[in-house]
Amino acid sequence: MANSLDNNPPHEVVIVGGGFGGLYAAKALAKAPVNVTLIDKRNFHLFQPLLYQVATGTLSPADISSPLRSVLSKSKNTQVLLGSVDDIDPQAQKVLVDGEAIPYDTLIVATGAKHSYFGKDDWEEFAPGLKTVEDAVEMRRRIFKAFEAAERESDPVKRRAWLTFVIVGGGPTGVELAGAIAELAYKTLKEDFRKIDTSETRILLLEGLDRILPPFAPELSQAAEKSLKELGVIVQTKTLVTNIENDIVTIKQGDDKREIASKTILWAAGVKASPMGKVLAEHTGAELDRAGRVIVEPNLSIKGYDNIFVVGDLANFSHQDGKPLPGVAPVAKQEGEYVAQLIEQRLQGHTLPQFNYNHQGSLAIIGQNTAVVDLGFIKLRGFFAWLFWLIVHIYFLIEFDNKLIVIIQWAWNYITQNRRARLITGAESLIATKFGDNPTYYSSDKIRDTVNV
Amino acid sequence: MANSLDNNPPHEVVIVGGGFGGLYAAKALAKAPVNVTLIDKRNFHLFQPLLYQVATGTLSPADISSPLRSVLSKSKNTQVLLGSVDDIDPQAQKVLVDGEAIPYDTLIVATGAKHSYFGKDDWEEFAPGLKTVEDAVEMRRRIFKAFEAAERESDPVKRRAWLTFVIVGGGPTGVELAGAIAELAYKTLKEDFRKIDTSETRILLLEGLDRILPPFAPELSQAAEKSLKELGVIVQTKTLVTNIENDIVTIKQGDDKREIASKTILWAAGVKASPMGKVLAEHTGAELDRAGRVIVEPNLSIKGYDNIFVVGDLANFSHQDGKPLPGVAPVAKQEGEYVAQLIEQRLQGHTLPQFNYNHQGSLAIIGQNTAVVDLGFIKLRGFFAWLFWLIVHIYFLIEFDNKLIVIIQWAWNYITQNRRARLITGAESLIATKFGDNPTYYSSDKIRDTVNV
């Protein structure tokens, strides 16, 4: 164990990851008598809760991204390093970044999570998830390409598959994607096509448990399901996905097995911790949970290494009510800020009581004018929940530099019902228009499409 | 020759390409008694004159793109087809789109141009051009990656190469890129780095002729050069690029040959017509000029085929003053509108006098508060030229759906001096951070960097 917290200044704090956990730790240390090095593979912080709006053509990636250097440019004790961490040496107190050793006195690891297919990694090709800007642009490409392909398809069975969207996972991301695609199909694109009627689009939201939005109170899950149904989404709970291949989703409902033909399958079902968890476990003996998260001490450090902290989605903190805290932005943010404060206290010879998460509520937006908000003591749905969602998100965005643009974009979309950012771009965008050559196209006789609409 | 203009309605107009030429033709035909099919490989119209602002991190791709379907959704006689034209059959009057034959009575070809390396296609890898959204995102990636790499580089020679930007071509795009990168380096990023001083950045603008902005009056070229120099750009006229490889640009100035070590070389030097010119030439015997453009009749049709028109950058129209019209948006727009009008007139048994381009002026922006404007009868420079540039571009954007956002972005950047859209994204963005492994890195002893700063 290496503890050099009472050394001479400058005390070197190295933070790995510029998500909510890492960035808020760095910001909270801006005035502390320490040197901070924030390492990230990307040059921007991503406001992940709004990523679904990029995937569905409302916002541009830059609208929900803040250059890390610009956010931290006034923190003169902080340097940003664009690079990828290969390894960590807790004995020598060094982090290896692209071959270069960066020494630390205190290390904060905040590398987050990525989507998980529960061991079925071959599903990823057919059902992309939503964690990065590139994921969102790929999802956007698939969604808008599907309508284009349907417009050019004369075979009604194939056209139906192009106009069928399946979203796997009924958590907030799945609900938000389903609601946004419904508004796209039934409102935004209504006048845009000549051969297809986009109101024939089917949007299926599949959830394994008996209700969507499991972290919310049951009455809010019901309200959300009702709102989604009013928007035109087909919600299927107690539905397990048993296979995904060749544009066919196989589902299991009780003893029933069914196949759904869909060209656009979106994954919003599960996450696992980033590989840095394993690296930490190897070097420190830290215990990992089943999702690969590092089980942390009450002060978010690793057992036996009180100068190594893990915050955000990579951490499994269960010292509050026995259950691990959820992988959401407010948890990461509070954890990052707690560790920053603890470092400052330690430098003055003090310490802090254990971390305590202050849960302020759960929010999910369903569509224009409708959302659900669970603050525990008060539960909102419909218009007031939507307004609350809006204010909270604007408040969070204000802390960076994006608020103005996003507010204008939202206002603009609200008034015009349009979505400007619906570009089909990227490496595959040109070949993608060659619909006829699609090698993964199913043969139509293979389809038993028995889900009722 | 096939002319079916006096057939029974509906008269089928097929337009290939949704740039300025094609889109304005389609818009002008919205109320004509014809059916219009607009075919494009992309689902959006791109406002190319502002592409350099995407490449330099001011705007997002969606800010300068308008979904074609959304622009044309109110034109009920118009359908948009997302697809790629393989061939044209002027005898059968059909266009082949991904294997599907689309019949036409009148055909408008407006597939534009792409950048040209004057036969040195291997330069493209080292010196990307700026024609598509993907080009702009790639250019943005290279520009911002260069500063990041410089920050991590300890060898002063290599760091100097990362901080040297070479722009080949002193036309409007080259001037605009050089000015924008100067503002980035000397203003926007000034506070963002800890190890490098971005004011040490060198930006070289290379032009083969004896002055930059050759289409402008000589005194405006001088004014632009002066403004660029004030911004910190090194302008080198009468400078030929003889080779580009391994991050080294070889230039020839008179009898002098010099090498410049630069990790970021941007191409703004030449364009050639899109391959559709060759297809047309094969089938109709149309003559092409050296840049591959189709030499058109005074009414923009192809000789011998008065129902096939070529407009925009693909057309060589030289019936006005003997010189071909330049490849700029106003020419394409007026040509598209002229052909639309001619089609309407013909349907009523009339015709039109030859096309006449109404040149309204040339504009180029250099930086904040400074531009050059050549309206022939009046020449502006400095702040008033900049204001004029702003008003003209906002006016053009108003015709689509983007004005509000772009104005807000500009106002925001103007006030804060920040650029929000500086994301390093795309397939290469993650490997790109592995600077050490860059296989094309030059060996420093190969460098004879003799350009004075």
A104, amino acid identity: Y
What's the fold here for domain A121-268+424-446? FAD/NAD(P)-binding domain (3.50.50)
Side-chain-facing half-sphere of B389: CA atoms under 13 Å: 26
Q: What pLDDT is stored for residue A160 in this prediction?
A: 97
Residue with tokens 């350009």: B451
User: Taking Cα atoms as reference points, which of B37, B38, B44 lies closest to residue B132?
Assistant: B44
Residues in chain A: 453
| A65–B61 C-beta distance less than 8 A | no
Q: Which residues contact A384 (CB under 8 A, 6 or more apart)?
A: none
Collapse the DSSP code of B183 into the 3-class scheme (helix H, G, I; strand E, B; otherwise coil) and give the result.
helix
Instruction: Write the Ramachandran bin of A148: left for phi over 0, alpha for psi from -120 to 50, otherwise beta.
Output: alpha
Mean pLDDT of A269-283: 94
Q: Which two tokens stand for residue B283?
A: 């089938």
Answer whether A83 touches B (CB < 8 Å): yes
Q: Which two tokens stand for residue B387?
A: 């204001």
Interface predicted TM-score of the whole assembly (ipTM), two decimals: 0.85
Cis peptide before A10 (omega within 30 of 0): yes
Q: Which two tokens stand for residue B91?
A: 């005898």
Report the distance separating Cα B3 and Cα B308, nearest Å: 10
User: Taking Cα atoms as reference points, which of A425, A437, A415, A450 lies closest to residue A138?
Assistant: A425
Residue A3 sits at φ, ψ, to 5 deg, of -130, 110
Q: What pLDDT is stored for residue B394 in this prediction?
A: 80
* Domains of chain B, residue spans: 11-41+83-115+271-347, 121-269+362-446
Q: Identify whether the C-beta of residue A412 lies closer than 8 Å to the C-beta of residue A404.
A: no
pLDDT band, very low/low/confident/very high, at B418 (cuts 50, 70, 90)? low
Answer whether B110 touches A (CB < 8 Å): no
Options 3.20.20.70, 3.50.50.100, 3.40.50.1970, 3.40.50.970; CATH of B121-269+362-446: 3.50.50.100
Question: How many Å lie between the alpha carbon of A68 and the closest alpha carbon of chain B?
Answer: 9
Q: What is the CA radius of gyration of chain B?
A: 23
Write out pLDDT tens, residues B366-415: 988 899 999 989 999 999 999 998 888 887 776 655 556 677 667 766 76
- State the burial class of residue A119 (Cβ atoms within 10 Å of its Cβ: 0-12, 13-18, 19+): exposed
The 10 Å CB-count burial string (b at 16+, else e) for B70-91 is: bbbbebebbbbbbbebeebebe
Q: Identify whether the C-beta of residue B240 lies closer than 8 Å to the C-beta of residue B252.
A: yes
Residue with tokens 């087909």: A234
Report the distance separating Cα A15 and Cα B286, nearest Å: 64
Write out pLDDT tens, residues A292-343: 999 999 999 999 999 999 999 999 999 998 999 999 999 999 999 999 999 9
Report the distance separating Cα B429 and Cα B314, nearest Å: 34
Report the distance separating Cα B190 and Cα B182, nearest Å: 11
Q: Name the residue among A63, A81, A193 with its Cβ closest to that of B60.
A: A63
Collapse the DSSP code of A276 into the 3-class scheme (helix H, G, I; strand E, B; otherwise coil) and give the result.
helix
Collapse the DSSP code of B63 into the 3-class scheme (helix H, G, I; strand E, B; otherwise coil) and give the result.
helix
More confident residue, A335 or A442: A335
Q: What pLDDT is stored for residue B211 in this prediction?
A: 97
Terminal Cα distance for chain B, rounded:
61
Please count the helices (runs of H) and the strands (runs of E) in chain B. Answer: 11, 25
pLDDT band, very low/low/confident/very high, at A371 (cuts 50, 70, 90)? very high
Q: Is A176 a catalytic residue?
A: yes
Domains B11-41+83-115+271-347 and B121-269+362-446 share a fold: yes
Mean pLDDT of B283-311: 97
Strands, E, within B64-219: which ranges? 65-67, 78-82, 85-89, 94-97, 100-103, 106-109, 113-115, 164-168, 202-206
Q: Provide, as residue numbers in chain A, all residues whose Cβ is less than 8 Å from the Cβ of B144.
A: 43
| B84–A433 C-beta distance less than 8 A | yes
Residue with tokens 């010879």: A349
Write out pLDDT tens, residues B115-159: 899 889 999 999 999 999 999 999 999 999 999 999 999 999 999
Class (C level, CATH) for A11-41+83-115+271-347: alpha beta
| B98–A73 C-beta distance less than 8 A | no
Q: Which residues contact B156 (CB under 8 A, 6 or more apart)?
A: none
Q: What pLDDT is stored for residue B262 in this prediction?
A: 98
Q: Name the residue among B189, B408, B422 with its Cβ closest to that of A404.
A: B408
Report the distance separating Cα B103 and Cα B167, nearest Å: 44
Q: Pick the catalytic residue from A138, A176, A207, A297.
A: A176
